[in-house]
Structure 1
Amino acid sequence: MSEATRQICQVSQIVADKWNPEHIWGMCRDDPTTDNCFDYDVLPRFHYDHVLSGGFVAPTMKAVEYFYSKNGVPINEDIYYDYDTRFDITNTLPEESPYVQPYVTTAKLHLNREPRFYGSVGFDKGWWYGLGRYNENDQWPINAKNGEISGPKGTYIFSMTGFFIKKRSNFHAVYNQTTYIDKPFDFPVIRLADLYLLYAEALNETKDTPDNEVYEYVDLVRERAGLKGVVESWSNYSKISDKYRSKEGMRAIIQQERGIELAFEEQRFWDLRRWGLAPQEFNGYVRGWYFLGETDAEFYKVSNYHNIKYSTYDIFWPIPKSELRVNHNLIQNLGW
């Protein structure tokens, strides 16, 4: 296995490896009738006749754009990343494998991204390593346009955004034309990188300005992800080269690092609520590729789907009436 493929597989195995020592507190899955249900929901279909998988639990375009460039900074900050043309179609080259299939056309958005992007997200003309295929030259190809194997089938067996969650599947599972045999694992409720980033966040909020102690714990997570440290990355590659020097700038860096490192692990909902960012982040359209498109020009067109409404009253849930009757000093949360 090449170093690039190891970095990609590591992302999912941190979550899906049953005996991963980084798991601090896990949620056990012991029911054989439900163990692989979520796997079915996120996996693309790799055979036309395979009806168990479909990838209908899918990442949004917003989540996909959130991952860093290959230089370890946000794609809208990277001085070498052509952000304005990220949705344009381009031809792929052999040297871009194992990240994408060679000699095909795909969106620029899929190229020149960090390893965690390729380990977390499946996309049209990308690869899916494992599931019985352990040769880097013979991985599962993801072909997600309408009419292709991983594209829409029926009324619900498809990804509405054109993306797939790669991170929640153990690459040691077995997939063939009629069967999927999963590798059960204890889903991490708390893991080591989560604690490192929480500690870095607490340090940043309690210090007047961020220092090496704050950077250290973020850099531990970044190093394992195959990226340079915060100071080096922002100094060399970001349009905001001194972003890490201020409390506000470092807060934004830590928040994005958590969003990437813990992507699709059921953490972001709670993070955004406690940061007070939920209304601005959750409101708006769910965006994705046009999943009914059959050609590059049709498919790689950013489309709006559900319009999410998230109000201030959604941040704090209602206090039960039974509690209000017991304590008359309690005031019901806003909007309820």
Structure 2
Amino acid sequence: MSVSCKKYLDIVPDNVGTLDYAFRNRNEAENYLFGCYSTMQQLAEVTRNAGFTTSSEIVYPILQAHFFDESGFNLIRGVQSSGNPILNYWGGTNNGLSMYKAIRRCNIMLENIDKPIDLGEPEKKRWLAEVKFLKAYYHYYLIRMYGPVILIKENNPVDVDIEATKRKRATLDESFAYVLSLINEAIPDLPARIENRTTEFGRITKFMAMSVKAEMLITQASPLFNGNPDYTNFKDKDGRSLFPATYDAQKWRIAADACKEAITECEAQSLKLSTLVPSNGIGNVSDELKSILSLQAIVTQRWEDNPELIWALNYGFGYQGYTIPKLTSKSVSMANTYPSNWAVPISTTDLFYTDKGVPITEDKTWDYANRFTPQIGDDAHKHYIKQGYETAKTNFHREKRYYADLGFDGGIWFGNGIVDEDKAYYVQSRSQFAIGGPKSLNSTNVTGYWPKKIANYLSTMDENFTAVDFKLPLIRLGGLYLLYAEALNEADGPSAEAYDYIDKVRTRAGLQGLVAAWQAYSKNPSKPSTKEGLRQIIHQERRIELCFEGQSGWDLRRWKELQDVLSRPMQGWSIYEANAVNYYRPQTVVIPVFGLRDYLWPFSSTDVVVNENLTQNPYW
């Protein structure tokens, strides 16, 4: 953790004697401001981020040894309950955070901001804007999980009657209207950029807030929340409909405008798609491998050096020991400390395009039927696959993001202490149960695929493990471009502008333009010309581009596609087989359980009993 980040991770103690003390001067009030940030910083913990753990991108096995609280990963196994909800962000229990505690802290800051006599007016305006943003974001996080929420616009007085504390849920439209009003109030008074990066880097800026606003509006316009027929009859105890009954296409137009405004502000502050090639720790490396490292660096380079990263959090990604395979004999000895067992199911790897830039099921030049057949690594793929090594045909002729994001049997894994491509490691997952392989099932990758994208190439796992820190993005420019394309398509159908913003991302990934690629190589050449076809393309593009970044789980929810994705068994290779023919036979590793009720979180049954005005979510 850098020195400049430490302040923002400090949590204001609950036992501060009086509010007068907490706001007696500027310095004390600034500490309270950082306390308002503290809950947000804890959201960087990916194992309690449903967008990460329920995305279907990573499978975590059920083990006897518990390396962390894996309950978030187990949500796809149907273990959610109203008795003790997992990732309970409403009440802050069971691997959750208390968002309402964070909101109350923000309210205290807003109520007492005038007390420090040495706090200048310009700084006060900025602090107010930051706290309003945080208050909006905490409410928004709850909306994504629970739908309509209780709006805490002001804290209750200490001596309030107990019945007054039993607040009702606002409607969904009221909930979104409130968070958007807060963020609109905040944006004008936020700084355009952070001038003092040594002491303030990580605090909220105008372009961050505008980008979050765009995401909020996209979420409001999406199928889960926009005229969802599953919630037509969902009413509170007074008979109020909590969800909008009809679809409102205008919400997409409003979201598109917000996306464009955010993009304009980001680009005005010199943000751009990152094409930087890392230079640290790189020796003899081909241009082909440099392009792979450039794609990896979009996520794993330092936030301060990343021209694309709109917003991240100050906590680093702490799980590289789960994403890097055992590449050396010495690393095997750390199997029970750094188990390398975050496994990517075949369904996630199938999302990635062929090298022609179209899905593997649609590419008329790609041998989909024989994709599990073993094939020897050849000279044409030597920068991605070990030459002479037998691997699956599915690993050949794939787009560059496939090789940047995934570790697979026979795949080149540059780094881990090796700086020259000619000496680079390659993954040998078929040997993981051979002599010298992992010593326990705890360290076994159950599918034979690793999420390489979230492992820094400078991190090393050998006799010792050294992780080079990075921050996982919350929003980056490539994702914002795709949000804009999505909103444009939903508002008006396919357009040259929507294609252009998709192609900005595709071009950076080394792919041909969308329309040209489909016309030349797809079995469905007209697919990009229809709203439904382009919708499918944009959804797949986002799932590829933002894979392993904690975004897809939220996307699949708002699209109402998660139930379909989790209706099929998650598979991997037959990992106990050493022979390639036998190894490359898919086997089921998890049968997900996800029903209609799981789109929204349940409230704890205790909360519903204590507050009789709190209406439980549908189907729970």
Output the TM-score relative to the length of structure 2. Answer: 0.51
**Is the Cα–Cα contact under 8 Å of residues 144 and 162 in structure 1 kept in the other structure?**
yes
Looking at structure 2, the residues matched to 118 and 205 of structure 1 have their Cα atoms a distance apart, in angstroms, of: 31
Query: Which residue in 2 is equivalent to 1:139?
Result: 424
Looking at structure 1, the residues matched to 436 and 321 of structure 2 have their Cα atoms a distance apart, in angstroms, of: 13
Query: Which residue in 2 is equivalent to 1:238?
Result: 522
Looking at structure 1, the residues matched to 404 and 501 of structure 2 have their Cα atoms a distance apart, in angstroms, of: 22
Per-residue CA shift, 1:11-65, capped at 9, x if unaligned? 22111101212111112226xxxx6x41001110012231154420111100011
Looking at structure 2, the residues matched to 206 and 239 of structure 1 have their Cα atoms a distance apart, in angstroms, of: 27
Tell me how far 1:200 sits from its aligned partner: 0.6
Query: Which residue in 1 is equivalent to 2:584?
Result: 300
Q: 2:538 aligns to what SS in structure 1?
A: helix
Give the share of equivalent positions with the same residue, in percent: 34
Counterpart code for 2:420: N
Output the TM-score relative to the length of structure 1. Answer: 0.92
Looking at structure 2, the residues matched to 149 and 67 of structure 1 have their Cα atoms a distance apart, in angstroms, of: 33
Query: Which residue in 2 is equivalent to 1:95?
Result: 380
Tell me how far 1:170 sits from its aligned partner: 1.2
After superposition, where does 1:308-323 map in structure 2 within 5 Å?
308-319=592-603, 322=607
Query: Which residue in 2 is equivalent to 1:258?
Result: 542
Per-residue CA shift, 1:129-177, capped at 9, x if unaligned? 11221211111111011445895431211210011111001112234x3
1:120 maps to which of 395, 400, 405: 405
2:319 maps to which of 33, 38, 41: 38
Counterpart code for 1:259: R
* Residue 15 of structure 1 pairs with residue 299 of structure 2: yes
* Residue 73 of structure 1 pairs with residue 350 of structure 2: no
Q: 1:279 aligns to what SS in structure 2?
A: helix
1:48 maps to which of 323, 329, 335: 329
Counterpart code for 1:187: L
Query: Which residue in 2 is equivalent to 1:279?
Result: 563
Q: 1:287 aligns to what SS in structure 2?
A: strand
2:513 maps to which of 200, 209, 229: 229
Looking at structure 1, the residues matched to 499 and 489 of structure 2 have their Cα atoms a distance apart, in angstroms, of: 9
Looking at structure 1, the residues matched to 439 and 356 of structure 2 have their Cα atoms a distance apart, in angstroms, of: 37
Q: 1:106 aligns to what SS in structure 2?
A: strand
Q: Which runs of 5+ in 1 are unaligned?
A: none
CA RMSD for the aligned pairs?
1.9
* Residue 165 of structure 1 pairs with residue 451 of structure 2: yes
2:574 maps to which of 270, 286, 290: 290
Q: 1:83 aligns to what SS in structure 2?
A: coil
Counterpart code for 1:249: G
> Which has the larger share of helix?
2
Looking at structure 1, the residues matched to 413 and 563 of structure 2 have their Cα atoms a distance apart, in angstroms, of: 34
> Which has the larger share of strand?
1
User: Which has the bigger relative contact order, CA under 8 A and spacing at least 6?
Assistant: 1
Counterpart code for 2:395: H
Q: Which runs of 4+ in 1 moved over 6 A?
A: none
Counterpart code for 2:568: G
The verdict on how the C-alpha distance between 1:149 and 1:12 changes in structure 2, with shifts beyond 3 A counting, is farther
Looking at structure 2, the residues matched to 72 and 233 of structure 1 have their Cα atoms a distance apart, in angstroms, of: 6
Tell me how far 1:179 sits from its aligned partner: 1.4
Per-residue CA shift, 1:55-81, capped at 9, x if unaligned? 201111000111000001000000100
Residues matched between the structures, number? 328
Query: Which residue in 1 is equivalent to 2:38?
Result: none
**Is the Cα–Cα contact under 8 Å of residues 406 and 449 in structure 2 kept in the other structure?**
yes
**Is the Cα–Cα contact under 8 Å of residues 373 and 581 in structure 2 kept in the other structure?**
no
Query: Which residue in 1 is equivalent to 2:312?
Result: 26
Query: Which residue in 2 is equivalent to 1:267?
Result: 551
Tell me how far 1:335 sits from its aligned partner: 1.4
